[in-house]
Amino acid sequence: MGIEYMKHFQFFVFLCFLTFSVSCGQQKKYIQYKVKEGETMRNIAKKLDMKTKDLLRLNPDVDRRPVANTVIVIPNKQFKSVVDTKNEGTLDEVKKSDGKKTDEVKEDEEEALAEIKKNFVVYEVKKGDTFYSLTRFYNVTQHDLVALNPELSEGLKTGQIIKIKAIKNETESEVTIYEDVIEEDVSLKVALLLPFLTKENDTLEAEELFPRSRLANIVTDFYLGSEIAIDSLRKQGVQIQLNVYDTGRNSTKLDSIVKATNLDDNDVIIGPLYSEETQFLAKKVSIPIVFPVYSKNQSKFSSSKLIKTSPEKNVFKEELITFLKDSLTNQNIIVVGDGKSASNISVNSIKQSLESHDSVSIVHVVKPKDGYIPRERFTTVFKNDTKNWILMATDNNVIVSDAINSVNSLADSLQMRVFAYNKSRAYDKVDNLKLARVNFTYVSDQYVDEDSPLTKAFNAQYRSKNKALPSFYATKGFDITYDILMRLASGNFLKSTFRDGASYRIESKYDYDTKLFGITENKGLFIVKYNKDLSLTRLK
């Protein structure tokens, strides 16, 4: 009787447990969530890894921009702030292995890693990685990395999988960093084609030549920077034969170089400096040609041999709009145009793009009247109770000056921030203190961290060799030459290395978009902000 009773009791306990488990499962299928200040249904859906329309179906009485503390229903998935790192196991623990794991253990590890990847950008440490290379590429500090990965207090170890930072947008986790690898006993030949104009200038002393010729300064500085890059790579074991050619003032001299020299005997050509010469050369050789400067004519390039190192101007605009859409919460947006046709097209495009965002109901447009913008045009659209973001869709000197002055006059009483596609010459005429007061933020193809070890080493080496600090073009010469030759030193085809990831050098980012039968163009850009002390901060 006792045994029979115990069997019934055990069955009863099991049934209760099963009922409790099912009940809990049902209760946990959906849970309540209280909306935080500034959150939209799109933000919340993104964190839940679901579509906005599906979240809206669960909450038919809630609009896309619910007020703070609104209670909504959400699926019971892992839901946490992207900056919340509590109770997250270290990724290195997921990676550790004695080589004898069962399939179940491997599957558990893969699931754990996949779960962490939902909230964090992760990276597997490779040979040669340093804290500096990772912090520069991902725009984080060493302190941030150690805080997310305590095991890094003992240093980086090859094979570790580490958290880099919380994911803020869908594309961030897809970014990969190019790994500098030098093949053993590698040997390279590089042709450098620049307009030194030696015959025209050989009767002048250096003191006479450089002040009177901006071109001579650009070419000489670029060459000196390239020379430092080649010296650096040679010290790392790369055998480099440098062949330098003076292209003169026009393509007549370039034609004679092509006829007299087998340029295809080189691995790569850096130069010429002019777009028409570059297109001419592309028809004569079969090796990659690196175009080292920006030209408005580079958009006409069509040869698959050509590599554009400077991003197209439309990419600057795309980069800023993407940044804004990723950063928007509940700001008041004002777009400033100059009233001309090109500006009007740009303004309308921006307005349409930003108004498609969940957090934006309307984008205000401000244009000039009688050639300038009165202060009242701004005061009528500014708001006291929210952040005012002003996007400049013009480089007109007068309009830029009017806008910055108007915004400055209200900066003490309102929250202001001015954005631009780039820091054009129009902003050079504006006092930097005024730009700092309005948190001026812009897109740039250069950003220099003066405190970085690489920058300090380059500056010291350049000063020691040339008795001067490097100019913009000297640094550009170093960056382009070092990046291209370092990639070739891997022993791989140049185009294949572009698909392996983006690279950061002293002041440039090289994130090449390469097409199988098209040209290769760099899309590497920075988002930079002025600080109150006139220093610059890289936001992206």
**pTM exceeds 0.75 for this model:** no
For residues 251 and 154, which has the higher predicted lDDT (pLDDT)?
A: 154
Summary mean pLDDT of the chain: 81
| Residues 117, 227 within the same domain | no
Q: Is residue 247 part of a domain?
A: yes
Position of tokens 């580490």? 162
| Residues 437, 462 within the same domain | no
| Residues 153, 231 within the same domain | no
* Mean pLDDT, range 502-512, rounded to an integer: 93
Altogether, the residues listed in the chain come to a count of 540
Structure confidence by residue, pLDDT tens digits, 363-392: 999 998 777 888 888 888 988 888 999 999
pLDDT range class, residue 109, cuts 50, 70, 90? low
Query: Which ranges of 236-367 would DSSP assign to H, the alpha helix?
Result: 251-260, 275-282, 313-327, 341-355
d(CA 334, CA 393): 10
Domain extent, residue 507, equals 187-311+450-524
pLDDT range class, residue 436, cuts 50, 70, 90? very high
pLDDT range class, residue 33, cuts 50, 70, 90? confident
Q: Is residue 530 part of a domain?
A: no
d(CA 296, CA 294): 7
| Residues 439, 459 within the same domain | no
| Residues 138, 193 within the same domain | no
Structure confidence by residue, pLDDT tens digits, 279-296: 999 999 999 999 999 999
pLDDT of residue 202: 42
| Residues 27, 66 within the same domain | yes
Number of domains in the chain: 4
pLDDT at 48 over 50: yes
CATH number at residue 68: 3.10.350.10
| Residues 328, 438 within the same domain | yes
pLDDT of residue 209: 38
pLDDT of residue 252: 65
Domain boundary among 418, 444, 470: 444
* Mean pLDDT, range 100-118, rounded to an integer: 60
Long-range contacts (CB closer than 8 Å, 24 or more residues apart) made by 521-525: 521/307, 521/308, 521/311, 521/312, 522/307, 522/308, 522/309, 522/310, 522/311, 523/311, 523/315, 524/311, 524/445, 525/311, 525/315, 525/316, 525/319, 525/443, 525/444, 525/445
CATH number at residue 340: 3.40.640.10
| Residues 330, 214 within the same domain | no
Q: Is residue 182 part of a domain?
A: no
CATH number at residue 271: 3.40.50.2300
| Residues 216, 288 within the same domain | yes
pLDDT of residue 519: 85
pLDDT of residue 90: 42
Residues 6+ apart with CB under 8 A from 11: none
For residues 413 and 212, which has the higher predicted lDDT (pLDDT)?
A: 413
pLDDT of residue 317: 92
| Residues 221, 305 within the same domain | yes
For residues 127 and 26, which has the higher predicted lDDT (pLDDT)?
A: 127
pLDDT of residue 110: 64
pLDDT of residue 50: 81
For residues 21 and 335, which has the higher predicted lDDT (pLDDT)?
A: 335
Q: Is residue 479 part of a domain?
A: yes
Q: Is residue 181 part of a domain?
A: no
| Residues 243, 356 within the same domain | no
pLDDT at 94 over 70: no
Q: Is residue 531 part of a domain?
A: no
Domain boundary among 444, 464, 479: 444
Q: Is residue 164 part of a domain?
A: yes
pLDDT at 24 over 70: no
pLDDT of residue 168: 56
Domain boundary among 444, 470, 494: 444
pLDDT of residue 148: 84
| Residues 205, 320 within the same domain | no
Mode of pairing for the β-strands spanning 187-194 and 161-166: unpaired
Q: Is residue 49 part of a domain?
A: yes
